[in-house]
Structure 1
């Protein structure tokens, strides 16, 4: 045998052996997706994947759920995500219990109105704060189109992170998701057709790996994904404690040369921020003496804490965003992809948005009806929102500091926030109701597609859309998938989408119904992605026009719907 033939045989043999190994890896794979981290983001992502038909399990290094004090509420996109999955009643029950503990924030605290009324009462009086400056709900213009379009889930805003995690754990368990606790990820290898994950409990073979394991993410580190950003300059604590002399503290937020502290709204709840200080060991447990020392330094009092009634937390203002949300078959979500100061609980909500966006896209790729390039839109859509949140929290640190320049700036911002326009602007930003995703451009590896269109709803979160039977469009999305609202007289849009019936649920409605208005009034047709983002919308504004022009408009709407379906829901 000559050398060329021998070399050729070797190459064939090598290829054959590699194929055998690849097939063996496929056979050994136990799940489609392994999610690392059983916090709210990991649990929500796992549930979305399960709804999409994927097999998924969750690995969590903690042996028990985290009971530390964290975010005390959720924003409107997170509340609406729960609503679309049928979890709104459970979330509203949590809010009612929370209000019992901390007291109502004013009238209409449950944020609910008469079902089917087409318009609900204003949100809970919980509006949030900017750098410790509490936003007055009486100054908010609740008739603002963005706010008025999102009211149905207003009674589920005060859902603390611990209770949210428990709610999502039950939801994921109902969908068959397994959570393996006490398992730490120690190594990973992306083999191109899967990921081999080394853990403290042995080797796991999985199709895809998603790190939802926090700011110190082992998945991000092992995948070699950079985490650029800014270093910490402050340290903060939050705790609920028994206080021997609470009268020494002032209710609300109070500034001093050393920092800022907040007392309330519930008895014993304290939070501190110290300037120019960074924690020596951020991984060490937070002690009573540590919290008391910080509170004494910032308040300038000899206040005495006698016991901690909840696990306290320590945080800083280090602010970072992953260089990439995806590397091959490894993806990041939540704090693994971005960290920042916790003002307003933005991290929890940002992570929930990541989970909703990634869940259906990865599920679609696994189901085979979407190209892998769809996953690239996860980074392009979520990264700008992450960058905005990082800057929003950085700005608050700049206003919060105790130096004279920051104090002067804080006075100006306080004046702006004492106006109707200023407060409404801040509430819209904090609540997330004005979020918009850029849907321009095609999908890498996908078919050519028409532009998304210029309808004002495209790229926005779907507003409350009431139907003639007193239900809402969101009520029809509990099983995941796309939703199509068709309010044409002949059901033309639903017929168009019938070829995608395995992925798109069509809801027809009387076109004379008067559902809740929004920034654009009542659309004739709306296609909503599983993450709540409007992919296509059509409004036949001139219903009294002649039949030929009406027919032309309907034809244009059908063409746009077909393009949106091909782009986001794959080939029929």
Structure 2
């Protein structure tokens, strides 16, 4: 346990509107969006540097859409693998052995040039990007350092969080000196990972499966010789099937850096696993390797029973932990951050009420549960593939077996690499932060299918992207806060909503789409109210009878006094 020595405070207690605990991708994204909105934010992290552990290695399309909004998507896309490096996913007996099949994906250069086939396959202006967290975090760190309203203190460990009705108090220990001090905040966001101090401070419990799959043995290493042996079209990720172990191996920088994961067979002791044996089975030959670290870990499927207590909230791994399949872990946390930032800003700005934080907790917990089950499904579906020892034999029978296994992989594991249903199709169901009507079809699940996405402007859905006539994305035309999309020839149909937002001091931009839209997507709805997180808050074919009530419902605000509402209602009853 950390020893804490209290010293007299060298300065009066500081106060920030928001304190973010944890400077990983989730915490820094939250801080960046808050700062962009003008909210002062302090970020605290015990580490002196960005991560040296190459954990997450995919920034998915949904996250890239948000990073586009933050002005960082191009910088992120130009980092990681070389720009001309294909990002194929390869299945093989070993990295230098028999190839079973592969899913082909474009390079960053092709995506930046707009020539990638992903633009026809994926309904987004920002296809997913393969980048290790060791390269992503420095970009976010630099952006936080240059943000006017953000401050990042590294080497400052949060040891306790308490709260009263009107404030939260964060106790911090400066790692280098042991000095302890306190910071006050209006709100605290716990983005401090799986062992979260903030989660423990509010008594939240992780629930689910403590051991959802085989344990893992991960090796981070360098081998330029291996990189030179991977052929004219090397992959980004290799799924390998060895005699004793099976797992994946990722290229991190396109030259010599690799991360190898191996599943530890049930009944085996993870401490007995020999990294040399794992690497021999994964690579298929002997190579000079420089091992940086070996990590043994347990695959879990856990979601916190609550994401909020008063002024303290959870996001990212502090709120949910699951198998790192499909890139769902960190990326779900990025959506957490963007879902929370606008609500905190709205509360501090006085145009939302406290209930919106309950909405955040309910919405993100429901999607977290659904996403965790999607990750587990991918693992279970692939658990029986590649088990036949003859897969590594020579001869025509083995060739036929490998071809059959390759076809099976194409059928079963496509969902992991084409997970549009998770990335774009997640829906918020039953949240007070959205307003449904009789046109909205009922949905029984936050995620209907991993690899199926049906664009929709139904309330609770991500507003669909489409390319506009000038080559920009619809997302580029959305405002920072609420946006009312008006479809059709008559922009005046949105005047009542705009007037009500103005009377309530709710920031709203009106976007009139004169270009044709897909009738299957809009289903006759000419008005679409988009929340700041790009989620449809309400949509309809006619203006709402009471736009004031609509906004107050979405933002948890009490209705104005009756004599003040006459003007709002007059806009819609003339």
**More helix by proportion, 1 or 2?**
1
What is the distance in 2 between the residues matched to 1:293 and 1:170? 39
* Counterpart in the other structure of 1:529: 531
* Counterpart in the other structure of 2:419: 428
* Counterpart in the other structure of 2:341: 359
Q: Please give the per-residue CA displacement for 1:250-308, whole angstroms capped at 9, x wherever unaligned.
A: 98322235221334554553423122356569xxxxxxx96435324x54967354314
Task: Check if 1:88 corresponds to 2:70.
Answer: no
What is the distance in 2 between the residues matched to 1:56 and 1:165? 18
- From 205, 209, 213, the counterpart of 1:226: 205
Task: Check if 1:54 corresponds to 2:39.
Answer: yes
CA contact (8 A) 1:32 1:206 kept: yes
* Counterpart in the other structure of 1:197: 170
CA contact (8 A) 2:85 2:108 kept: no
Secondary structure of the 2:18 match is strand
TM-score by length of 2: 0.72
Mark the CA change 1:336 to 1:470 in structure 2 (over 3 Å): closer, same or farther.
Answer: same
Task: Check if 1:33 corresponds to 2:18.
Answer: yes
CA contact (8 A) 1:278 1:316 kept: no
Stretch moving more, 322-331 or 157-166: 157-166
* Counterpart in the other structure of 1:259: 245
Mark the CA change 1:114 to 1:498 in structure 2 (over 3 Å): closer, same or farther.
Answer: farther
Map 1:62-461 → 2, pairs under 5 A? 62-94=47-79, 98-100=82-84, 105=104, 110=109, 112=111, 122-123=117-118, 142=120, 147=122, 150-154=123-127, 157-172=129-144, 173-201=146-174, 202-232=181-211, 233-242=214-223, 252-263=238-249, 265=251, 266=254, 268=256, 269-273=258-262, 274-276=264-266, 277=268, 291-296=275-280, 298-299=281-282, 303-308=286-291, 314-401=296-383, 418-419=410-411, 423=414, 427-429=418-420, 432-438=423-429, 440-442=430-432, 451=437, 454=440, 456-458=456-458, 459-461=460-462
Q: Unaligned stretches of 5+ in structure 1?
A: 1-26, 125-141, 282-288, 540-555
Q: CA RMSD in A?
A: 4.0
CA contact (8 A) 1:467 1:514 kept: no
CA shift, 1:30, in A, is: 0.9
What is the distance in 2 between the residues matched to 1:152 and 1:426? 17
Secondary structure of the 2:198 match is helix
Secondary structure of the 1:418 match is helix
What is the distance in 1 between the residues matched to 2:426 and 2:183? 37
Q: Please give the per-residue CA displacement for 1:68-114, whole angstroms capped at 9, x wherever unaligned.
A: 2122222221111122333333334337x543456785568656599
* Counterpart in the other structure of 1:491: 491
Report which structure shows greater RCO (CA 8 Å, sep ≥6).
Answer: 1
What is the distance in 2 between the residues matched to 1:516 and 1:314? 49
What is the distance in 2 between the residues matched to 1:385 and 1:61? 29
CA shift, 1:167, in A, is: 2.9
- From 525, 536, 543, the counterpart of 1:557: 543
What is the distance in 2 between the residues matched to 1:77 and 1:449? 23
CA shift, 1:412, in A, is: 10
What is the distance in 2 between the residues matched to 1:200 and 1:57? 15
* Counterpart in the other structure of 1:21: none
Q: Please give the per-residue CA displacement for 1:521-557, whole angstroms capped at 9, x wherever unaligned.
A: 7963322111111112345xxxxxxxxxxxxxxxx33
CA contact (8 A) 2:13 2:182 kept: no
What is the distance in 1 between the residues matched to 2:426 and 2:405? 22
What is the distance in 2 between the residues matched to 1:245 and 1:475? 42
TM-score by length of 1: 0.73
What is the distance in 1 between the residues matched to 2:309 and 2:404? 44
CA contact (8 A) 1:488 1:525 kept: no
Q: How many residues align?
A: 484
What is the distance in 1 between the residues matched to 2:242 and 2:547? 58
